[in-house]
Homo-oligomer: A and B are copies of this chain.
Amino acid sequence: MIRDADATRQRLLDAALAEFAEHGIAGARVDRIAAQANSNKAQIYHYFGGKAQLFDAVYGSIVRRLVESTPIDVHDLPGYAAKLARMYDVHPEVMRLAVWHRLEPGEPEVNALAVEATGRKVDLIAQAQADGLLPKRFPPAVLLGLVLHLAATWTEANPEFPGELPDAEARYEYVAEAVRRLIDLP
A residues in contact (CB < 8 Å) with B: 22-27, 96, 98-100, 102-105, 108, 110-111, 114-115, 118-119, 122, 137-142, 145-146, 149-150, 152-154, 156-162, 164-166, 171, 174, 177-178, 181-182
Task: Give complex CA distance A27, B103 in Å.
Answer: 11
Most B-side CB within 10 Å, residue of A102, A118, A146, A149: A149
Interface of A is mostly: helix
CB distance from A181 to the nearest CB of B (A): 5
CB distance from A4 to the nearest CB of B (A): 32
- A181 neighbours in B (Cβ, 8 Å): 181-182
- A154 neighbours in B (Cβ, 8 Å): 145
Most B-side CB within 10 Å, residue of A139, A140, A146, A160: A160
The answer on a CB contact under 8 Å between A27 and B159 is no
CB distance from A175 to the nearest CB of B (A): 8
The answer on a CB contact under 8 Å between B114 and A139 is no
Task: Give complex CA distance A141, B165 in Å.
Answer: 6
Task: Give complex CA distance A99, B100 in Å.
Answer: 9
- Of chain B, the residue at the smallest CB distance from A138 is B174
- 21 A–B contacts from the bound complex (CB under 8 Å): A24-B24, A26-B26, A26-B27, A102-B158, A102-B159, A103-B103, A114-B158, A115-B162, A122-B164, A139-B166, A140-B164, A141-B161, A145-B161, A146-B150, A146-B153, A146-B178, A149-B149, A149-B152, A149-B153, A152-B156, A178-B182
Instruction: Choose among B149, B153, B159 the residue that contacts A110 (Cβ–Cβ < 8 A).
Output: B159
The answer on a CB contact under 8 Å between B159 and A174 is no
Task: Give complex CA distance A100, B96 in Å.
Answer: 11
